[in-house]
C-alpha cells in the first residue's frame, strides 16, 4: 500500500502556488526564478546547502517583538512547557525579546505554523525535519548533545514481556504500531531497514498508526499492539517519569544511531536576530535545570547542518519514495 499517494487537486501548479503565496503574505519576489533544489518554490537555495536562503529583499526579513518557540508534539504539552521554561528565559535574555512556548498537536500543524510565519523557532522531530526544511523554510542549526559532541538516538522495537515475539521474524502476522507516516524511527526507518531483516512492514504485518511514540509504547504495555518501533530517547524519558514499567516490555531489536530532534529558526528571521537565537542555544547550560533533568546525558546544544547531519535520514526517505509535499505531511 502506498501511503504517499498524491492527492493534489486537478488545478494548475502555478495557480496553486500563487494562491498559497498570496494567502501567506509572500511577495511576488518569493516566486522569482532561482535555484530551489528540493525546496518549495517559495524558497531559494542558490548556495546549494539544501536549506532556504535568507531573502535578498530586506523588507521580507522578520524581526518580531515576540518570538514563538515550539517543541515536537508530545503526549502532555503542559509538562514540556514547564520543562522548557529555563531555556525560554535564557532565549529571552539573549535576544531581548519576549518568548512564548507554543504547544503543537501534530507534525503537520508544527510545519504549517512555521510555513505561515506564526512560528519562529522550533524543535522538529527527526523524520519531519526534511518536511520542515523543504515546505516551511526551516533552517536546522543545533542538536542536543554531550560535551564531546556525541548525539543521537536509536530505533528500538519493543513487545510485551508476555508476548510470543522474541525476534524480528516473529512480527509476521502481528499488529504493529507505527507512529505517523513522516516519523523516522516510528515509520520511515522501519520501512527502509526491516526488509533487510526479513520483515516487510505493511505486507508481513499489519500497521496501525498510533500518533506518537508515547502512544505506541503505552499501547504495547496495554497489549493493544503486539509490538512497536519507537525512538529510544522518548521511551527512556517515559520510563524515567514512571509512565510505564520497564519490566512489562521486552526489547527485540535496536538500530545504529540517528540524529535526534533538530532545532531550527525560520529562514527569514533578521540575520542579527538569527545570530542571537543561535547564540542562545549554544550558550545554554543544561546542568541544574529541569531541561537537563528531563534530557539526561545532554550537556549542551551542538552546531549541525542539515546537509551533513540529515544525510542518512534523506537516504532512508528517498528509499521509501517520500516526496516533500504538503499532502504527504502527517
Res 127: pLDDT = 92
Res 296: pLDDT = 84
Topology annotation, domain 31-149+260-328: D-Maltodextrin-Binding Protein; domain 2 (3.40.190)
Give Cα separations from 81 to 75, 85, 86, 99, 240 (angstroms): 12, 6, 10, 12, 18
How do strand 153-160 and strand 227-231 relate by DSSP bridges?
Answer: antiparallel
pLDDT tens, the chain, 330 aa long: 333 332 223 333 333 333 444 344 444 334 547 999 899 999 999 999 999 999 999 999 999 999 999 999 876 777 889 999 999 999 999 999 999 999 998 999 999 999 999 999 999 999 999 999 999 999 999 999 988 877 888 999 999 999 999 999 999 999 999 999 999 999 999 999 999 999 999 999 999 999 999 999 999 999 999 999 999 989 999 999 999 999 999 999 999 889 999 999 999 999 999 999 999 999 999 999 999 998 988 999 999 999 999 999 999 999 999 999 888 876
Res 310: pLDDT = 95
Answer positive or negative: Cα dihedral of 211, 214, 220, 226.
positive
Query: For 111, phi and psi rounded to 5 degrees?
Result: -65, -45
CA geometry: angle 43, 181, 223, nearest 5 deg? 155
Give Cα separations from 31 to 28, 36, 114, 265 (angstroms): 5, 10, 18, 21
Query: For 227, phi and psi rounded to 5 degrees?
Result: -165, 170
In angstroms, the CA 280 to CA 109 distance is: 25
- Per-domain residue ranges for the chain? 31-149+260-328, 153-258
Query: For 149, phi and psi rounded to 5 degrees?
Result: 90, 5
Res 26: pLDDT = 44
User: In which residue are the cell numbers 517520500 written?
Assistant: 322
Question: CATH for 153-258?
Answer: 3.40.190.10
Q: Which residues contact 290 (CB under 8 A, 6 or more apart)?
A: 82, 83, 85, 86
Res 31: pLDDT = 56
Per CATH, 31-149+260-328 and 153-258 having the same topology is answered yes
Q: Are 329 and 316 in contact (CB under 8 A)?
A: no
Q: Which of 83, 188, 69 is nearest to 123 (CA)?
A: 69
Amino acid at each position: 500500500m502506498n501511503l504517499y499517494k498524491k492527492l493534489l487537486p486537478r488545478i494548475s501548479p502555478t495557480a496553486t502556488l500563487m494562491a498559497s503565496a498570496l494567502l501567506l503574505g509572500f511577495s511576488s519576489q518569493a516566486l522569482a526564478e532561482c535555484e530551489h533544489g528540493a525546496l518549495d518554490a517559495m524558497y531559494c537555495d542558490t548556495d546549494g546547502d539544501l536549506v532556504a536562503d535568507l531573502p535578498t529583499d530586506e523588507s521580507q526579513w522578520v524581526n518580531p517583538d515576540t518570538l514563538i518557540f515550539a517543541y515536537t508534539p508530545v503526549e502532555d504539552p503542559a509538562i514540556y512547557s514547564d520543562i522548557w521554561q529555563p531555556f525560554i528565559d535564557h532565549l529571552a535574555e539573549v535576544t531581548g525579546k519576549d518568548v512564548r512556548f507554543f504547544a503543537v498537536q501534530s507534525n503537520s500543524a508544527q510545519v504549517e505554523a512555521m510555513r505561515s510565519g506564526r512560528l519562529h523557532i522550533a524543535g522538529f522531530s527527526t523524520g519531519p525535519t526534511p518536511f520542515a526544511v523543504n515546505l516551511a523554510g526551516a533552517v536546522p542549526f543545533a542538536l542536543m548533545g554531550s560535551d564531546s559532541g556525541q548525539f543521537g538516538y536509536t530505533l528500538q522495537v519493543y513487545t510485551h514481556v508476555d508476548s510470543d515475539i522474541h525476534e524480528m521474524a516473529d512480527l509476521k502476522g502481528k499488529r504493529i504500531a507505527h507512529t505517523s507516516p513522516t516519523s523516522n524511527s516510528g515509520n520511515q526507518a522501519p520501512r527502509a531497514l526491516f526488509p533487510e531483516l526479513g520483515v516487510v512492514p505493511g505486507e508481513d504485518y499489519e500497521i496501525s498508526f498510533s500518533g506518537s511514540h508515547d502512544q505506541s509504547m503505552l499501547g504495547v504495555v496495554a497489549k493493544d499492539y503486539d509490538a512497536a518501533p519507537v525512538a529510544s530517547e522518548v521511551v527512556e524519558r517515559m520510563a524515567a517519569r514512571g509512565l510505564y514499567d520497564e519490566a512489562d516490555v521486552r526489547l527485540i531489536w535496536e538500530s545504529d544511531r540517528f540524529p535526534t530532534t533538530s532545532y531550527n529558526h525560520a529562514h527569514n528571521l533578521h540575520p542579527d536576530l538569527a545570530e542571537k537565537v543561535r547564540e542562545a542555544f549554544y550558550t545554554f547550560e543544561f546542568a541544574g535545570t529541569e531541561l537537563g533533568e528531563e534530557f539526561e546525558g545532554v550537556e549542551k546544544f551542538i552546531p549541525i547542518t542539515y546537509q551533513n547531519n540529515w544525510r542518512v535520514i534523506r537516504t532512508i526517505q528517498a528509499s521509501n519514495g517520500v516526496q516533500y509535499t504538503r499532502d504527504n505531511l502527517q
